[in-house]
Structure 1
Amino acid sequence: MIRHPDTADAVRRGPGRPKGGQVLASREQLLDAAERVIAEQGPDATMEEIAAAATVTKPILYRTVGDRAALVNALSEAMIDRISTAIGDALTGHTQPREQFEAAVRGYLSAVDADRNLFLFVNAGRQETNELRRLVDRSATLMIELFTAAPGLQTPTTAQTWAYSILGAFQVVTVMWLGSDYSDRNTIAADLTALLWPGIELAGRAD
């Protein structure tokens, strides 16, 4: 979790601020509070619980961060950043395309495993179509780069189609895995690779 100054260090009442000297928190502090509550209480955490954890009123939370959909969007960005970093780290040292793909899957699952409740929270929230499309594009960036470098998948449209399709598969598998822990993440990464990589190779040979 990205650390920010404690809520107690937030700016106190000034002109036009709520009466009673109530502590006000920055957007970053409120997002940190949201992550703490979600991590502790699960993906069903409410806006009321988040406001209470940040020691602000719900109207202040809404004014500073936005409604639940806005909170989901903001935390989705944080989740995507962590997944992208984990995938990039996992790719280090791998040069063969299949190995890179499986390493990327392991990196993805590792990041999700580290922030399980956050992943479930952001994926349970409803997002506007344009916002959802933007977040999917962000999530697909590394996969598109990986596929574009693979033989036979150099065209941007092919790489995008594969990346979006695989993200959809990851999404469903991950949600079911988090709900039951039916296998370990390395086995799931190997299974997903065994399922998806032959299709990628076939597409390469077809071109």
Structure 2
Amino acid sequence: MSVESRSTARPKRGPGRPPGGGVIVDREQLLAAATAVIRERGPDVTMVDIAAAATVTKPILYRTIGDKEALTNALSEMLIDRVNAAVTLHLGSGGEPRDDFRSAVRGYLAAIDADRNLFLFVNGGSHETAVVQRLVDRSAQQLLDSFTAAREEAGLDTAAARTWSYAIIGAFQIVSLMWLRDDYCDIDTLADDLTHLLWTGVSAVGA
């Protein structure tokens, strides 16, 4: 090989790297890897654990997703979508209103129980106030829409609908954390207890 050809030859790329030299990975792949390792190892995994599970370096994880707070926020959004989908399956099924509500409560509990490590991970750290408000708004939206429509139909003010929605989400959040941590009763008992506690307020939504 001539001196000229040696000087213009391109260095070999490592496997899995595009011409620019960056690792072929995207945000969705990293979120999927983070979810998998949290489910497998529990809520105490670190960013180093997640990077290793995704077979990328920690700087690449931070560059693609952000810091742990950003990762937690992204996983929170995903979890809310799953929980909302589970609750929606049980709302408005045409049965007795209290039975529908109890089914929705159990659907919520079943969804977080199935993904308990992820639930504990996203609820285990401190969130910025603005982030907490956004996540609460998203979690409460189904209840808020339903309660607001009921009160509007009854010709009543809608302020109470917002209060009840946030109160229910707050109760679910705290009770769920304690239940997953202490496992102090079975899921059906917990669904019955929450329904008994909350139904009086829920049933009065149009009153």
Q: Count matched residues.
A: 191
Q: Distance in 2 between matches of 1:65 and 1:158?
A: 38
**TM-score, normalised by the number of residues in structure 2:** 0.84
**TM-score, normalised by the number of residues in structure 1:** 0.84
Structure 2 residue identity aligned to 1:193: T
Q: Distance in 2 between matches of 1:76 and 1:24?
A: 25
Q: Give the direction of change, closer, same or farther, for the CA distance of 1:137–1:163 in structure 2 (3 Å limit).
A: same
| Equivalence for 1:140 | 140
The answer as to 2:107 corresponding to 1:103 is no
Quick one: which of 188, 191, 195 aligns to 2:190? Answer: 188
Equivalent residue runs for 1:18-97 within 5 Å: 18=22, 23-91=23-91, 93-97=93-97
**RMSD over aligned Cα, in angstroms?**
2.0
| Equivalence for 2:112 | 112
Give structure 1 stretches of 5+ with no counterpart: 1-10
Q: Which has the larger Rg?
A: 2
Q: How far off its partner does 1:79 sit?
A: 0.3
Does the CA contact (< 8 Å) of 1:153 and 1:203 recur in 2?
no
Q: Deviations over 1:87-111 (max 9, x none)?
A: 0112252443322321221111111
Q: Distance in 2 between matches of 1:116 and 1:80?
A: 13
Q: Distance in 2 between matches of 1:187 and 1:159?
A: 27
Q: Deviations over 1:24-61 (max 9, x none)?
A: 32110100110111001111110000000000000000
| Equivalence for 2:159 | 157
Q: Distance in 1 between matches of 2:187 and 2:148?
A: 26
Structure 1 residue identity aligned to 2:21: R
- The worse-fitting range, judged by mean Cα deviation, of 180-189 and 87-96 is 87-96
Give structure 2 stretches of 5+ with no counterpart: 1-14
Q: How far off its partner does 1:144 sit?
A: 1.3
